[in-house]
Each structure stands twice: as structure tokens, then as C-alpha cells.
Amino acid sequence: MADEMGIFETMYTMRAMRRLKPDPVPLETIRKILEAGTQAPSGQNLQAWAFVVLQDPDKKKFFQERYHKAILDRFGEGMTPDPNDTSSFARTVRSALHLAEHMHEAPVLLLVCGKRDWPFAVPKDKRVGHAPPSYGSIYPCVQNILLACRALGLGASLTTMHQMFEDELHQRVGIPDDYGVVATIPIGFPSGKFGPVKRRPAPDVTHFDTWGQHQPA
């Protein structure tokens, strides 16, 4: 791995890539990305993740239709900013809508699942219905997967809107009840270019010893 991409360079150029080419992703690349995911830490090292690689056109189309509807239900039909608006917000909305309309064209929709497990901070008498997946044990794996995609030149983005049709998704893909779907990651070669992300400076949200104290003692 002598000439692999540097860790900071990878992090600093990992934009959400929502415009993807339909070209297939080689199986060995998918394997490599998922193996990178499994290097992540998890509570008690339980490694309670599971991956579903959707490549079947019918299943991807099913996913896209439900996802598109969920996005419109959530953000409203007014999700069409003025085409002359070049603000960062308008561009993000346009690319999110593009993704919702074209998700089935991505060569891979990756469902990252996690075993359901009540957090120990939830008292026994408050445990009603399904436990959530153990997010803290799955999202580090999700982030490794996103970074691995970037390092291998693949576009990806982190989506969670499947929550709005999760029962149906479970049924369609055969996911057992004791697993939840944590994130859906559309993966493919990017149409656009990787580039720097824009973030608020970390010092603005860094506190030393006491909340509100923005400089060290």
C-alpha cells in the first residue's frame, strides 16, 4: 500500500458525491471497501455490522422510488431552487434531488446494517418495541467505507432516508428483524470532481475544560 492516498488528504477531499456514472464497480473493489469498513472499532469489538450490496436493477429501482418519495414528502415539492441560484445550499439541494431521481442508476447501493441492541443507558422498563441498531458501533465502519471509496476514486454519499420505508425494505431484501439498516451509500465512479469540503473552523466549537471557554487555561 506504498502509494496509497494519505489519510488527511483523503479526509479533506471527501465531498458527498451524488452524481455518479452507471459504470460497474469491480467486485474486488467492493470487497476492499467493505474490508476497510470492518477495521473500524465497535463496542466490545462485537463487529455487529452486515452489508447488503444491491446491484439488481429491480431492487435498486424499488429503493429509488421509495427514496424519492420520502425526500419529497420530507422536504416538499418546493425542492427546486432557482436555477440561477449558485449558493452552496442551492447546489446541495440540486445534487440531493439529482441523487433521489437517479439513485437506481448507481452501480451499487450499499446498505450498512447493524444488529439491534438496547443501549445500556436505557432502563429495562423503557425498552418498548425494536431496539435501535447500535449506531456507535456501526457509523465508524460507515465512515471507513466512505473514506475507502474516496481513496479508491469512487464517489459515495451517506444517506439515511430509508428509515421512512424501512419495513418494506426489510421485506424486499430479506433483512432479519434483529438487524436495522443504519445507512445507505450509493457508490459509483463520480461524474464530478472530488474537492475540498467547506466546514466551520473547529476552534469555534472547541471548549477547554468548561463549555464556553474557547482557549486552553
The smaller minimum CB distance to its own copies, of residues 160 and 191, is found at 160
What is the rounded distance in angstroms from the CA atom of residue 171 to the CA atom of residue 66? 14
Phi, psi of 107 (to 5 degrees): -65, -30
Minimum distance between the CB of residue 202 and its own copies, rounded to whole angstroms?
4
> What burial letters (b/e) apply to 146-172, b meaning 16+ CB within 10 Å?
bbbbbbbebbbbbbebbeebeeebbee
What is the rounded distance in angstroms from the CA atom of residue 166 to the CA atom of residue 195? 32
Minimum distance between the CB of residue 39 and its own copies, rounded to whole angstroms?
4
Minimum distance between the CB of residue 167 and its own copies, rounded to whole angstroms?
11
What is the rounded distance in angstroms from the CA atom of residue 169 to the CA atom of residue 180? 10
The smaller minimum CB distance to its own copies, of residues 20 and 148, is found at 148
Minimum distance between the CB of residue 52 and its own copies, rounded to whole angstroms?
5
Q: If we measure between CA atoms, which residue out of 96, 121, 100, 97 comes closest to residue 109?
A: 100
Minimum distance between the CB of residue 101 and its own copies, rounded to whole angstroms?
19
Which three-class secondary structure state does DSSP give residue 71? helix
The smaller minimum CB distance to its own copies, of residues 34 and 106, is found at 34
What is the rounded distance in angstroms from the CA atom of residue 56 to the CA atom of residue 107? 9
The smaller minimum CB distance to its own copies, of residues 8 and 84, is found at 8
